[in-house]
Every structure is written in structure tokens, then in C-alpha cells.
A = this chain, B = another copy of it.
Amino acid sequence: MKIRTAILGAAGILGQVFVERLANHPDLETTALVDVMVGKRYQEATKWRLGSEMPHDVAETKICSGESLSTKDIDLVFSALPGGVAGPIELDLAKKGFFIISKASDHRMEEDVPLLIPEVNGDHVSLIEKQRKRRAWEGAIVTDPNCTTTILAMSLKPLWDRFGVEKVAVTTMQAISGAGYPGVPSLDILDNVVPYISGEEEKMIVETKKLLGAAGSPAHVAVTASCNRVHTMDGHMESVFVATKKKAEPDEVKQAFRQFKGLDLHSAPKQPIIVRDEPNRPQTRLDRDAGNGMSVVVGRVRKDEVFGLAYTVLGHNTVRGGAGGAVLVAELCHRKGYL
């Protein structure tokens, strides 16, 4: 029997990606679609924006309200609600006993809320027990990071484990799909770079520390970030400078990246990190779909005279950094017996 799943914000573009990813999932199925236009069929309520066709069985499903959900019928809730809106709704559902995996930032930084990238800090899932005890509820709120942080943290983790990491400076070149739909007006981005994405740099700093630390105890590492919007469709490119504790030669670094272990979960790529040796890779358009969009691609690993180490990392912001990452978190929670 499959995990019965409700999607909050199902008609939005992120909700659509959840619907798409669950369509052929071996263990999860879409059971309830929650959004504002209650009572409408999904295909009426939704302006489908994905390249694929809307899955047939979902098209006729009627939109329902969050209040109508029951823990008897729903094993898992994905929250694709926007930040700010998501917080109180997720709290309310968790109190009612629902197990929630949220893409919203509202609860990410709370001490007893797991912020998960399965390959990086899957063990943080144990915070659920602490959360349940402390909050006296049977539900759970689990989160996954900002898309930009996910890509950075995946690349830092093998360095953290093998060399230790003291300082990180990262500059991002982020795709327009990161701003949702309608998102970035074309007049603002054609022949342009916008050197600012509201709240993004702050998230990269605090979330990276939480991800690299032990459960409940952020890592001691200095991080700075500069986030830019560029004219690409999908795929966030990041130029990274890293000061490691132990000396790290480029060849050792590449080895550490390549040996970083994948998980045996449905959505997990065999190689979470793919290393390219060509001088001009990764490139956004050529590499964003690596590992079905679930791998990150690293290149240009080299020494520098300020930090010691520099490289470039690219990941797919709406797959690994979006619904794909959250589904992988669900698979981990399922494996660990939480669902």
C-alpha cells in the first residue's frame, strides 16, 4: 500500500511539480489536493505550467480544503505553500497529528525542526522525536533547505568530513524559475544581471550551518554569500571559495567529491556529486539535468591564494532544490519508519 499524500498549495507551480513527481512514484501517491478553489476539479483550478502533460488520474480530483483533511486518510502532507502563509497552517496541521514535509522557510531554523538533505544530514531526522516530546504532539514538521543552500551544502559536506571547513564565500548566478510564476518580469532580466534576491543570502548563511552541524547544534563555520539573478531558465550556478582546516589538494578534493556516497532511495541519484574535469564545466544548460536533476555537478576545482580552494557547483533548483528534494526527504522518513 502506498503512502497517501496531501499537497498543500497544489495548484501553484511548486504544487504542480509535486503532482508530477508523485505520478509514477512506487511508494507515494497523491490522495488530496489542497488549495483555495475548493470543489473545482484540479484541471479547472490549475493553469498547468510544466512541459509534461497533467497526470490523468489527478486531473479529475477535486480540490479540497486543509480543514477537511483527516489523519485517517492521509499519511503525509507536502507543503508547497509560500513562506509566511505556510507557518501557521503547518503548525495547525502538525497539532492535529499530520506529518508535514515543507518547502517553506517558516519553520526551517527552529531548533527542533529537522532541515534535511538526506545525503548530507539524514541523521537529523531524529529531531522529530525531540520535537514531538517538546511540543507534545504526534504530528511532525520536517523541512528541506532553500534551493541555493542545498546545492552549496551538498558540495561542502564531503569537504567538511574529510578536511574540515573554516570559511566559505559563495557567489550565485540563479535561474529565473527560482522566483516562481509569474516571477521575474522579462523586462527586468533580458540583457541584465540583478545582483540581489531578497532574503537569499541570509538563508544560505544560517541554513548551511544547520546542515553541516550535528542535530540541534549548528556548525562553527564562517559563511558569506552574494546572490545574483541571471537569464537562465533552470539551474543555479555557484562560484565557491573555501578555506579548509587541513590542506586540500585539488586532486584530493575531486576524490572526496567523487566518493561522496549516494543513498539507496528511489529518488536518490547514484552519484550525488558529479565532477567534471573540462575547464569550462559545469554549464547551466548542459549540466542541470545530471542525475535526473538530483545530482549536483562540480567543476573548476583549483587552488587559490586567498582561501586555498575554489570550485564551481551547479544544481537544478526546482528538482534537487525543489520538489525532488522534498520527495527524497519523504523517502528517507519512510525508510526510517516515520510514515
Contact = CB atoms under 8 A, between A and B. Distances in A.
Interface of A: 49, 51, 167-169, 171, 173, 176-177, 181-196, 198, 205, 222-224, 226, 228, 230-233, 237, 239, 241, 279-286, 289, 299-300, 304-307, 310, 312
A284 B191 contact: yes
Nearest to A306: B224
Given A190-B233, A230-B231, 9 more contacts: A171-B171, A177-B187, A182-B188, A186-B189, A191-B285, A192-B283, A193-B284, A222-B306, A231-B232
B184 A185 contact: yes
B239 A196 contact: no
Contacts of A187: 49, 176-177, 181-184, 233
B241 A169 contact: yes
A193 B317 CA distance: 15
Nearest to A232: B191
Nearest to A177: B187
A111 to B, nearest CB: 21
A306 B176 CA distance: 28
A173 B193 contact: yes
Contacts of A222: 305-306
A228 B224 contact: no
Contacts of A186: 176, 183-186, 188-190, 231
25 contacts: A49-B187, A169-B307, A171-B226, A173-B228, A176-B186, A176-B190, A181-B185, A182-B182, A182-B185, A183-B185, A184-B187, A185-B186, A186-B186, A190-B233, A190-B285, A191-B191, A191-B231, A191-B233, A191-B284, A195-B280, A195-B281, A195-B299, A223-B306, A224-B241, A231-B232
Contacts of A283: 192-195
Contacts of A312: 195, 226
Q: Which of A171, A185, A282 has the most CB of B within 10 A?
A: A171
A247 B176 CA distance: 36
Closest 6 CB pairs of A and B: A171-B171, A182-B185, A224-B304, A226-B239, A224-B306, A196-B280
Given A230-B173, A231-B230, A306-B222, A190 B191 contact: yes
